[in-house]
Structures are given as C-alpha cells and as structure tokens.
Structure 1
Amino acid sequence: MESLETELEQARDLSVAELADAIESIGFECTRCGACCKANDPADGDGETEPHTATLFPDEARQLQKATEEDFEEAYDWRDVARPMPYGLSEGEDGPEGETFEWAIQTDACGDCTFYEEAEDGTGACGVHDSRPLVCRTYPFSVALGGTSEPMGEAVDREGLVRAHECEGLGRDISRAEAEELAAALKERAVRELEEAISLRDRYEPRSDVNGVVVHDSEGAKRPDGTPLEER
C-alpha cells in the first residue's frame, strides 16, 4: 500500500488534460435531478433514509458561512453549514458521543443538504452554487488514488484513474471546456483530500477523555460548533 505522501505526489502530478479526456469518454451533463443533494434511500428499499453526507473541508465551511452573509438575509453560524460526520459516533445518554474525522454539509429535517432548493417542476438547485464545496463541484467523479474519497457508493464506470459514481447524467455529451473545468476541480479535490489526511494523521491525538462529540480535522480537535477543543 502506497504511503499518503506518495499518493499526494501522484495527485499533484495528475494531468488535467488526461482527466478531461477520461471525463469526455465517460460523458456527463447535470440533469438537476437533485439526487446527489438529497437523503439517501436504503439500498434494499426497506428502512429509513440516511441523511445526505457530503464531506466538507474546514475552510469550505467558513466559505459557506461567508456566502450566507453575502446572499442570505441572516448569516449562518458553523452549525448551520456543517455537522460532524456521523460515522464512528454512537448515541449516549445525553446525545451523540465519540470521535469522528470529517465534517459533512449540514442537513435539513428531511435529511437533504440544507442548501438544496427544489422548484415546482421538481428540478433542483443549490442555494450557494458559486461557493459549493469541491465534493459537489466534482460529483459524480472521483480519482482512484488511496486516501481519496468515493462519494455516494461504489463506482459504476471507470476510465483510467477517473471513477464515475451513480448519476443519471452519466453518458451524456460534455464540452471540452466543461470537461477541463471539472477535471481541474477533480485534481484539486484529490490533492486537498490527501493534504487533509496527512495533516489529520500528524495532528491526531485520541480524546476519549472528552464528553460528547470531538471532530478531528486538519486544523486539530474541535467541538461540533467548530471551535477548537482547547478553547474551553
């Protein structure tokens, strides 16, 4: 298994042109179906839906806060835009507890992304489209390098290092300019994910002594409201 540092060098050496070639070969056009922004239905059709979980870098959470200051009537605080990734957490007597290693975009009461908007005709839109995180900018694609994430399930297609995940927009024509823009964002995301993973690994110290939820990210251990653990 390659080290994270080796994978990072490979990510930095990725050719945007070659990534764009792969994206063109697979094909993609967003149909605004909203599936990637909504709660996930269980694979077997039974049980409850699972809240939307799109990963969020710490600086992207702050970027979303800034976007709400500029575009919304009321600025959002950290908890309005980000929540602890639920994986690794358990339900204690006083609510969720444990340690997790990522942030997810906040969800609404239905489990959909809090910024998802749906028109009367059923088409979806993003309320912070220009400030959306890299995982949203690059969906339904990911890069097949260790240490990078696979959004919403396993890949359904692959061309070289580019994986395509389930989406009704796959297989549609995409212009070269759009493919290159998507490819550049895909490379940026791969690099960022590996940089975050390395920084998190180097900073991580178990905090089982803390009640409630602790989120470890590249900036250190934090409370669910985004404040550093040691500030309290």
Structure 2
Amino acid sequence: MQSLEAELAEARSLAVDELADAIETIGFECTRCGACCKSEADDPHTATVFPDEVRRLQGAGDADGPTADTEESDAEGARDWRDVARPMPYGLTDGPDGPEGETFEWALQTDACGDCVFYEEDDDGVGACGVHADRPLICETYPFSVALGGTSQPMGEAVDEEGVVRAHECEGLGRDIDRADAESLAAALKERAVRELEEAIGVRDSYEPRTVDAGTVVVHDSEGAKDADGRPLDAAGRDDER
C-alpha cells in the first residue's frame, strides 16, 4: 500500500486530458434529479466538505437563504458554521444530549429530511443547488471520483470505471458530454483528488487524541481539533472553558 505522500504525488501528476477522455467514454449529463443531494433510505446525505469550503459557503449566495435549524451567524450577513457543516457522523455515538465523541472531517449540513441544506426543488420536482457557484468540489465532480488511496468514494461503490476514473450511481451516466465540459469536470476532479490527499495528510499530521467530555464532539481536520461549531479547541481560552 502506497503512502499518502506517494498517492499525492500521483494525484498531482494526473493528466487532465486523460481524465477527460475517461469521462467522455463513460458519458455524463446532469438531469437535475437531485438524488445526489438527498438522503437515501433514512440515511442522511453525507458529503465531505473541506474547512476552507465551509468558510466560503458561510458567505455564499443568499446568506439569508437555506440554512439549518440554527439562526445564529458569525458575522453580519454570514451563515453560522453549523448552518453549513456538521461533524462527520462516523465514529460518534448517541448520548443523552445528542451525538458525542471524536470524529474526522466535516459533512455538509442537512435539513430535517436528511437532504443537503442547500438543495432546492421547484414545483415540478427539478432540483437545484442554492450555492451552485460555490459548491464543494465533491459536489462539482459527482458522480466521478479518482481511484487512488486516500480519496473518497461518494455514494457507495463504483458502478463503472475507466482507467483511474470511477463513476458512481447516477441516472445521468452514459449520456453524451461536450469535450469542454469533460475537460472542466476533469480539472475539478484532479483538484479534488489532490485536495483530499492534502487534507488526509494534514489530519494525520495534526491529530492528537483528546479527552472528550460526555455530550460533546471533537472534530479533527487538517487545521487541528475543533468543536462541533467549528471553533479551534486550541484557541485562547477554549480548552479552559471545556
């Protein structure tokens, strides 16, 4: 098994035109069905979002638009961290006051139905992203991923594969795609693979086990340990408050 550093070097060497060739061969056109934005069989939507993507989404689009249940904001006109992201649920347990424990990375926030909080649907059932221009890389590149260790496979195992490009369940697969669109998608796919590996290395290098009090959550990302609200635990006074 290669080290994360070796996988990162391989990701950085990926040829965008070859990725675009693979995407063209598989074929794809978004049908705006919204399946990739919604929960599945009572399993809430889970899409990994990087810390800097969370901060970008805090001020993206209409900050008074789709949000989670909290109405707090970090600054005037900005969403609260918890309106954008939640701790990745894997590794957490259900305590008397809600989830508790240690976990790694952030997932996009969900609404009461388990769908992405930024997902919108018109009266005809056509889906749209409320922050499309600022959507995370994992959303921009779905239903594709790169078959390298340390990169994620969104929405389960691959249903098709061409070279290092994996395709995941989506009704838009197999449709013709314009070359320019394939190249744009390929460039984003390479960027995402690089970012995921850089994030994995950052998490590994910054990780320090924490004693987690009952009823609290600690999230480890590439920037260090954080509260569930995104605030660093090692910021002045934070650890003393716990």
TM-score, normalised to structure 1, is: 0.94
Task: Provide the rounded CA distance (Å) in 1 between the counterparts of 2:229 and 2:100.
Answer: 14
Aligned to 2:162: 159
Q: Work out whether residues 61 and 130 of structure 2, in 8 Å CA contact, stay in contact via their aligned partners in 1.
A: no
- Aligned with 2:20: secondary structure? helix
Which of these residues, 214, 217, 222, is aligned with residue 218 of structure 2?
Answer: 214
| Correspondences of 1:13-162 after superposition (within 5 Å) | 13-41=13-41, 49-68=42-61, 72=65, 75-162=78-165
Structure 1 letter corresponding to 2:217 = V
Structure 1 letter corresponding to 2:232 = P
Distance 1:70 1:209, change over 3 A: closer
Per the TM alignment, residue 72 of structure 1 is displaced from its structure 2 partner at its CA by 4.4
Task: Provide the rounded CA distance (Å) in 2 between the counterparts of 1:93 and 1:70.
Answer: 32
After superposition, the C-alpha distances for 1:4-48 in whole angstroms (9 at most, x for unaligned) are 00000000000000000000000000000000000112xxxxxxx
Task: Provide the rounded CA distance (Å) in 2 between the counterparts of 1:202 and 1:157.
Answer: 34
Task: Provide the rounded CA distance (Å) in 1 between the counterparts of 2:144 and 2:52.
Answer: 22
**Aligned pair 1:229/2:222, yes or no?**
no
Question: Which runs of 5 or more structure 2 residues have no equivalent in the other structure?
Answer: 67-76
Aligned to 2:173: 170
Q: Work out whether residues 68 and 75 of structure 1, in 8 Å CA contact, stay in contact via their aligned partners in 2.
A: no
- Aligned with 1:229: secondary structure? coil
After superposition, the C-alpha distances for 1:149-185 in whole angstroms (9 at most, x for unaligned) are 0000000000000000000000000000000000000
Task: Provide the rounded CA distance (Å) in 2 between the counterparts of 1:227 and 1:183.
Answer: 34
Task: Provide the rounded CA distance (Å) in 2 between the counterparts of 1:51 and 1:92.
Answer: 18
Task: Provide the rounded CA distance (Å) in 1 between the counterparts of 2:62 and 2:28.
Answer: 32
Task: Provide the rounded CA distance (Å) in 2 between the counterparts of 1:166 and 1:118.
Answer: 20
Task: Provide the rounded CA distance (Å) in 1 between the counterparts of 2:11 and 2:213.
Answer: 36
Q: Work out whether residues 118 and 125 of structure 1, in 8 Å CA contact, stay in contact via their aligned partners in 2.
A: yes
Task: Provide the rounded CA distance (Å) in 1 between the counterparts of 2:5 and 2:47.
Answer: 24
Task: Provide the rounded CA distance (Å) in 2 between the counterparts of 1:135 and 1:27.
Answer: 18
- Aligned with 1:25: secondary structure? helix
Per the TM alignment, residue 92 of structure 1 is displaced from its structure 2 partner at its CA by 1.5
Identity of aligned residues (%): 76
Q: Work out whether residues 49 and 107 of structure 2, in 8 Å CA contact, stay in contact via their aligned partners in 1.
A: yes
Task: Provide the rounded CA distance (Å) in 1 between the counterparts of 2:21 and 2:202.
Answer: 31
CA RMSD, Structure 1 to Structure 2 (Å): 1.4
- Aligned with 1:214: secondary structure? strand
Question: Which runs of 5 or more structure 1 residues have no equivalent in the other structure?
Answer: 42-48
Aligned to 1:198: 201
Task: Provide the rounded CA distance (Å) in 1 between the counterparts of 2:115 and 2:13.
Answer: 35
Aligned pairs, how many?
Answer: 225
- Aligned with 1:67: secondary structure? coil
TM-score, normalised to structure 2, is: 0.90
- Aligned with 2:19: secondary structure? helix
Per the TM alignment, residue 189 of structure 1 is displaced from its structure 2 partner at its CA by 0.2
